Amino acid sequence: MLNRSAFFPGGGGQPPDHGVLLWGGVQTRIVDARKGDDLYLIPAEGDPLPAAGAAVRGAVEDPRRTALMRTHSGLHVLCGVVFRDFGALVTGGNMEPLTARMDFNLEAVPAGFKEAVEEACNTELRADRRILVRELPRDEAFRLPDIIRTATNLVPQDVKEVRIVDIVGLDQQADGGTHVASTSQIGKIEVVKIENKGKGFRRLRIRIAD
């Protein structure tokens, strides 16, 4: 446990950062994190641990974090496009660096859906929309239209300030994750597969490419 750190602990479907702690000429690899009341960084098995109270420097593994930021922002673009063009809400999702799935509540899949979604997403990436993050008081946040893009409101009742991730002109969501600064930084979105998981339950698998 550190008193402060730049490690993203995971949450909202985004996995935690990996990296290292540097102290006294040695390094502790960080391979996972847990968030309870405090943030716990999980060391690689067998790595040396600093003594309580020791000063350490942390370094986040940049290629992984950058890939996760691109993937997370890509999912918000997907979410925005599928809501705007097909009116479908998100029911779940998961991501790994450069690959992800998102589940939608969508009764029927129209012909050409996969191609239409992919094309519309990439149009938004080429448009280079800014991605802005701001915090709003809870009441104010929930007055924004369509702010909760997931089918159920997942923001706990005791959260007073809501963090909003705004892909300007496309999608606004309450979200705690890390994102790139504009949609062109995502790269390209490939819709790999659409799975029918039961009545109204469609799973879209995407890949993020350069």
Residue ranges that bind Zn ion, judged by CB under 5 A: 12, 175, 177
Q: How far is the CB of 66 from Zn ion (least distance, A)?
A: 16
**151-165 as b/e: b if 16+ CB within 10 A:** eeeebeeeeeebbbb
Terminal C-alpha separation, the chain: 36
Nearer to Zn ion, 9 or 177 (CB): 177
Burial class for 61, CB neighbours closer than 10 Å (0-12, 13-18, 19+): middle
Q: How far is the CB of 173 from Zn ion (least distance, A)?
A: 6
Closest CA to 114 of 15, 206, 37: 206
Nearer to Zn ion, 20 or 125 (CB): 125
User: Do residues 116 and 85 make contact, with C-beta atoms less than 8 angstroms apart?
Assistant: yes
Going by C-beta distance under 8 Å and a sequence separation of 6 or more, which residues neighbour residue 65? 8, 17, 178
Nearer to Zn ion, 27 or 94 (CB): 94
Q: How far is the CB of 209 from Zn ion (least distance, A)?
A: 20
User: Do residues 31 and 61 make contact, with C-beta atoms less than 8 angstroms apart?
Assistant: no
Task: Give the residue at shortest CB distance from Zn ion.
Answer: 175
Q: How far is the CB of 75 from Zn ion (least distance, A)?
A: 6
Nearer to Zn ion, 124 or 175 (CB): 175
Q: How far is the CB of 178 from Zn ion (least distance, A)?
A: 9
Rounded Cα–Cα distance for residues 176 and 137 (Å): 15
Nearer to Zn ion, 118 or 175 (CB): 175
Three-state SS sequence of 56-70: CEEEECHHHHHHHHH
